[in-house]
Amino acid sequence: MRVLLVGAGGVGTAVTRIAARRPFFAAMVVADHDLGRAEAAVAALGGDARFRAERVDAGDEAAVTALLERHACDVLLNATDPRFVMPLFRAARTAGATYVDMAMSLSRPHPERPYEECGVKLGDTQFAQAADWEKAGALALVGMGVEPGLSDVFARHAADELFDEIEEIGVRDGANLTVDGYDFAPSFSIWTTIEECLNPPVVYEAGRGWFTTEPFSEPEVFDFPEGIGPVECVNVEHEEVLLVPRWVDARRVTFKYGLGEEFVRTLKTLHLLGLDRTEPVTVPSPAGPVRVSPRDVVAACLPDPATLGERMHGRTCAGTWVRGVKDGRPRELYLYHVVDNQWSMAEYGCQAVVWQTAVNPVIALELLATGAWSGAGVLGPEAFPARPFLDLLTAYGSPWGMREQ
Amino acid sequence: MRVLLVGAGGVGTAVTRIAARRPFFAAMVVADHDLGRAEAAVAALGGDARFRAERVDAGDEAAVTALLERHACDVLLNATDPRFVMPLFRAARTAGATYVDMAMSLSRPHPERPYEECGVKLGDTQFAQAADWEKAGALALVGMGVEPGLSDVFARHAADELFDEIEEIGVRDGANLTVDGYDFAPSFSIWTTIEECLNPPVVYEAGRGWFTTEPFSEPEVFDFPEGIGPVECVNVEHEEVLLVPRWVDARRVTFKYGLGEEFVRTLKTLHLLGLDRTEPVTVPSPAGPVRVSPRDVVAACLPDPATLGERMHGRTCAGTWVRGVKDGRPRELYLYHVVDNQWSMAEYGCQAVVWQTAVNPVIALELLATGAWSGAGVLGPEAFPARPFLDLLTAYGSPWGMREQ
């Protein structure tokens, strides 16, 4: 297998460090719009000759296609931000490469009833091309990070081995990460978090299909394992709700993010004041009036999460809660994966959230390389057998857990 | 009396409308850095020949002195923001004019122990000049708006007529103003509110003197009269705490602002995120990276309070709560003044908060013109007899009230 990894940010860099310990691929080309970032990622691997750095603009479909062809790559792994999903997805198709990403094509709210009906859903633009991929016998594996990704694998596993009938699948994400020296320092991009949290959350119900709600709807306190404890979770728009029902039979599918009360309050305040907006406002500056996006100003006031790994403490948990029936009796389980930041920093020099996202696509690449996973079309992680994935996760040194509720 | 009014913003414009109905002065020159604003204020008075508009930069001391002299003004009324207190105060002294303002020279927090000790206090820079004014037999009447201003007059009145001994004087300000069409729209400048609320609040105690606390300290719910009802109030840095103890005997003096829970939460969030800062941050813009002050961006995202009068409903209350002993028995009173926004809009075309601030310096000017108030030095409103002021307030059509607790 020859891989083109596009994006050498936090997640892309972690992908290289995890993959470098595995023998399943022959080459990994690390491409970024900033060649220096790509080179730094490769240089940190201590001379592994399978890796090389390239410069590429992820939005330039033709350039990406040419790069895939020049290096004879058979897989493109997209580790950029969601704005680049479509050009990279199309470039892989054109070059005849397998495509893997960790977030799906973007949604657009319903123009009249944004908090009741779906408009363009996450992944719709990709699924619209599914017939092309199938016809060509080519595979796009979409949403293959931790959430979506591992959470979808958990859903598949629950359906295959743990339940006869599933009432509800609820992905639940929570952490107890703190950052020394900061009262408020999100461990992920505030720009993206605002985007995720203020988009209308999507819910799936059998019979009704997909629909949306108000932001921060259905708050609940979920008790996370391994010392994280109870965190307030709210509905957030997320890929799993769109992916799981396509392959797994469940009456209801939700995604709730453990933002915690303080964070929810902060986001609500930003929204109330219009500080979440991306449309520019006019502001005085030493050089006269200038136009800036309030959301960019919020981001500029906070520390860059990529620089916080060393100051961060605590654990992050991704998991899938499932309620249903097994052998005629009600059952409730939480399948989960916890990463301790001190462990991931010591072991890989990567912050926990970033490392947890990156390990999953590397496992998926390994399963594709060995043939344990194969398929054609635009497929989510739950379209493949879960057991080999979960076993490999444990083999990578980061075991998953299961809690009977 | 010939008055130079500097500042034709909301409060300055309201001063002209209130003064125009009174015969006590011969001329009022309305000066602003924006001549158009000054002209608009004068034009709205329907041809009262006592008023004329001028352009002046309030920070240009020499220009203000020249303007005072050119129009032979014997009083300067400062209706600008507190940054211009010192140049206007000095210009009045140079020109031999009486000086009146509604906010005092700015404070600077204690460099090491900002939330325990005072640094430079509100008004310190002005009081440092008191001997000069006294020696010249000239008067600077400082803090003569509603709060400080009327609240100080209430304290004087309580000491003169209502108590034998005063335990505590607590200024309490609250409102039930709402703005149609906005979920969040402060009825006053958010820039100034942040400044006021995030400065260390100052408290006075006999024996201990002035000291500071953490922002938003000692929250209490105060029940405001005339239908406003209970509002959460917190300690805020304000002039009364510095003024009252200089002339009125009380064991404790505080100022608490009825910000309400939501507003306090909002300000705390802005502070947590660093969005209250005035030092510029670098932000991308269509024209490349620019430097902007986060607090300016917050202000730019909110509607201009000066434009909200027509959409505003409710009442604002300024008052002084006093606890002590009269005729050997404990007594507790709240002396207050309420303005209904619909009344002030209908009667003067002025928003309630702005009108309530403006009426008090006009009354003070009238008392100075008639000789009911006179003095030399740098004096607060509580240095003068309260009764004539309170009677004139009622005569202006806006009576004050008193509630026995």
Distance from B231 to chain A by nearest Cα, in Å?
Answer: 20
Residue B193 with chain A: CB contacts under 8 Å: none
A303 contacts on B by Cβ (under 8 Å): none
Residue B215's domain comprises 150-356
Q: Which residue has the higher pLDDT, B81 or B219?
A: B219
Q: Distances in Å between the alpha carbon of B374 and those of B88, B169, B326, B370?
A: 21, 25, 29, 9
CB A301 within 8 A of CB B275: yes
Grade residue A38 by pLDDT with cuts at 50, 70 and 90: very high
Q: Does the residue A145 lie in any domain? A: no
Which of B272, B287, B301 shows the shortest C-beta gap to A275?
Answer: B301
Pick from B184, B274, B285: which is nearest to A292 by CB?
Answer: B285
Reference B95, options B118, B70, B123; nearest CA is: B70
- Which among A167, A79, A283, B197 is positioned nearest to A275, based on CA atoms? A283
Count other C-beta atoms under 10 Å from residue A128's C-beta: 12
Q: Is residue A218 part of a domain?
A: yes
- Binned at pLDDT 50, 70 and 90, residue A190 comes out as confident
- Whole-angstrom distance, CA of residue B347 vs CA of residue B343: 6
Residue to test with chain B: of A214, A297, A298, most B Cβ within 10 A: A297
The end-to-end CA distance of chain A, in Å, is 41
- Size (chain A), residues: 405
Dihedral angle sign, alpha carbons of residues B283, B288, B290, B295: negative
Chain A positions with Cβ closer than 8 Å to B = 183-184, 265-266, 269-270, 272-275, 277, 280-287, 290-294, 296-298, 300-302
- Residues B201, B245: Cα–Cα separation, whole Å: 16
Shortest Cα distance from B275 to chain A (angstroms)? 7
Each residue's pLDDT tens digit, A246-294: 999 999 999 999 988 888 889 989 999 999 998 999 998 888 899 999 9
Chain B hits for A294, CB-CB cut-off 8 Å, are: 297, 300-301
How does pLDDT run across A226-257, given as a tens digit for each residue? 999 999 999 999 999 999 999 999 999 999 99
Q: Say what the pLDDT of residue B259 is.
A: 87
What confidence tier does A181 reach under pLDDT thresholds 50, 70, 90? confident
Say yes or no for a CB contact (<8 Å) between A285 and B280: yes
Taking the CB of residue B166, how many other CB atoms lie within 10 A of it? 23
Q: Which of A333, A353, A373 is the last residue of a domain?
A: A353
Give me the amino acid identity at B167.
E
Residue of A nearest to B289 (CA): A292
How far apart (Å, rounded) are the C-alpha atoms in residues B215 and B198?
6
The β-bridge relationship of strands B312-313 and B377-379 is unpaired
Residues B182 and B328 placed together within one structural domain of the fold: yes
Cβ atoms of B400 and B393 within 8 Å: the answer is: yes
A386 confidence band (pLDDT: 50, 70, 90): very high
CATH classification of the domain holding B184: 3.30.360.10
Residues A164 and A93 in one domain: no
> B275 contacts in A (CB within 8 Å)?
275, 297-298, 301
Q: How does pLDDT run across A139-156, given as a tens digit for each residue?
A: 999 999 999 999 999 999
DSSP 3-state of A18:
helix
> 3-state DSSP call for residue A391?
helix
> What are the phi and psi torsion angles at B214 (to 5°)?
-65, 150
Domain identity same for A79 and A192 = no
Rounded Cα–Cα distance for residues B4 and B91 (Å): 11
Q: Which residues of B touch A280 (CB under 8 A)?
A: 285-286
C-alpha radius of gyration, chain B, whole number: 21
Predicted pLDDT at A44: 96
Q: A319 CA to chain B: closest CA distance, Å?
A: 29
A187: its two tokens: 């461990």
Kindly tell me the burial class for residue A207, based on how many C-beta atoms sit within 10 Å of its own C-beta (0-12, 13-18, 19 or more).
exposed
* pLDDT score of A337: 98
Q: What angle do CA A12, A14, A17 make, to 5 degrees?
A: 115
B222 and B320 share one domain = yes
Q: How distant is the alpha carbon of residue A170 from its chain centre?
A: 16
Helix (H, G, I), strand (E, B) or coil at B54: strand
Q: Give the integer Cα–Cα distance in Å for A24 and A1.
A: 7
Contact check, Cβ <8 Å, A298/B275: yes
Residue B366 lies in a domain: no
Q: Which residues from chain B sit within 8 angstroms of residue A298, using beta carbons?
A: 273, 275
| Residues from chain A contacting residue B270 (CB–CB below 8 Å) | 269, 273
Q: Give chain B's contact residues with A (Cβ, < 8 Å).
A: 183-184, 265-266, 269-270, 272-275, 277, 280-287, 290-294, 296-298, 300-302
Given this model, what pLDDT does residue A82 score? 86
Q: What is the pLDDT of residue A262?
A: 85
Angle in degrees, CA A143, A61, A200, rounded to 5: 40
A183 and B274 within 8 Å at the Cβ level: the answer is: no
Model pLDDT, residue B198: 84
Q: Per-residue confidence at B124, pLDDT binned at 50, 70, 90? A: very high
A contacts of B287 (beta carbons < 8 Å): 290-291
| pLDDT of amino acid B164 | 98
Model pLDDT, residue A73: 98
Per-residue model confidence as pLDDT tens digits over B325-360 = 999 999 999 999 999 999 999 999 999 999 999 999
pLDDT higher than threshold 80 for residue B306:
no
Same domain, A232 and A167: yes
On whether both A171 and A81 belong to a single domain, the answer is no
Q: Which residue in A274, A285, A302 is closest to B291 by CB distance? A: A285
Which residue, of B42, B72, B100, is where some domain finishes? B100
Joined together, the tokens standing for residue B256 give: 């608490």
* Maximal C-alpha separation, chain B: 72
Q: Tell me how far apart the alpha carbons of residues A70 and A105 are, in angstroms, rounded to a whole number.
A: 26
Q: Are residues A69 and A164 in the same domain?
A: no
| CB distance A173 to A149 below 8 Å | no
Same domain for A246 and A312, yes or no, is: yes
**Residues of chain A positioned with their CB less than 8 A from the CB of B266:** 269, 272-273
The total number of structural domains in chain B stands at 2
Beta strands (DSSP E) in A105-228 are 139-141, 165-175, 178-179, 202-205, 209-212, 220-224
Partners of B290 on chain A (C-beta within 8 Å) are 285, 287, 290, 292
SS3 B36: helix
Q: Is residue A399 part of a domain?
A: no
Segment (H or E) for A155 = helix A150-157
Cβ contact, residue pair A285, B281, below 8 Å: no
Cβ proximity of A234 and A257 under 8 Å: yes
- Which residues lie across from B178 on neighbouring strands? B313
What mean pLDDT is reported for chain A? 95
Per-residue confidence (pLDDT) for residue B349, from 0 to 100: 94
Place of tokens 């209130």: B18
> Is residue B171 included in any domain, yes or no?
yes
Q: Is the pLDDT of residue A306 over 80?
A: no
Residues A342 and A214 in one domain: yes
The candidate with the shortest Cα–Cα distance to A155, out of A71, A237, A244, A82, is A244
Amino acid at A88: L
Closest-CA distance, A285 to chain B, in angstroms, reads 5
In-domain check, residue A139: no
Neighbouring CB atoms inside 10 A of A255's CB total 29
Q: Which of A76, A100, A124 is the last residue of a domain?
A: A100
Does residue B283 lie in a domain region? yes
Q: Which residues of A touch B268 (CB under 8 A)?
A: none
B31 DSSP β-pair partners = B6, B54
Is A75 contained in some domain?
Answer: yes
Query: Which of the residues B193, B278, B279, B297 would you substitute to probe the A interface, choosing the one with the greatest number of A C-beta atoms within 10 Å?
Result: B297
Strand runs labelled E in B293-355: 312-313, 315-326, 329-340
Helix axes A260-272, A190-198, angle to 10 degrees: 80
Structure tokens at B238: 């304000």
pLDDT of residue B342: 95
Q: Which two tokens stand for residue A322?
A: 């499932």
Rounded to 10 degrees, the C-alpha dihedral A211/A217/A222/A226 comes to 80
Confidence (pLDDT) at A320: 98
Contact A121, A107 (CB under 8 A): yes
pLDDT band at residue B282 under the 50/70/90 scheme: very high
Interface test with A, best of B283, B296, B304 (most A CBs within 10 A): B283
**Residue among B54, B48, B51 at smallest CA distance from B6:** B54
Q: Taking 80 as the threshold, does the pLDDT of residue A305 lie above it?
A: no
Which value, to the nearest 10 degrees, does the dihedral of the CA atoms of residues A63, A68, A71, A74 take?
A: 180
pLDDT at B197: 87
Is the separation of the CB atoms in B143 and B243 below 8 Å? yes
- If asked whether residues B191 and B324 sit together in one domain, one would say yes
Q: Which of A54, A62, A91, A87 lies closest to A75, judged by CA? A: A91
The identity of residue A143, as a single letter, is G
- pLDDT exceeds cutoff 90 at A31: yes
Q: Where are the alpha helices (DSSP H) in A173-308?
A: 190-198, 239-247, 260-272, 294-301
Using DSSP, state whether B326 is helix, strand or coil.
strand
pLDDT at B374 over 90: yes
B189 and B281 fall within a common domain: yes
Residue A12, domain CATH: 3.40.50.720
In the chain, the amino acid numbered B265 is R
Query: Quick check: B291 and A286 CB within 8 A?
Result: yes
Q: Which residue has the higher pLDDT, A184 or B324?
A: B324
Residue A253 forms beta bridges with which residues? A169, A204
Cβ <8 Å between A273 and B300 = no
Burial (CB count <10 Å: 0-12, 13-18, 19+), residue B62? exposed
pLDDT at residue B189 is higher than 80: no
Q: What is the largest CA-CA distance in chain A?
A: 72
Torsion of CA B292, B295, B296, B302, to 10 degrees: 140
Instruction: Give the Cβ contact number of residue B52 at 10 Å.
Output: 15
Q: Do B266 and A269 touch (CB under 8 A)?
A: yes
Q: How far apart are CA B146 and CA B152, in angstroms?
A: 9
Q: Are residues B240 and B321 in the same domain?
A: yes
Cα dist from A374 to A171, A365, A379, A383, A386, whole Å: 25, 11, 10, 10, 13
* Nearest residue of chain A to residue B299 (CA atoms): A283
Cβ atoms of A374 and A341 within 8 Å: the answer is no
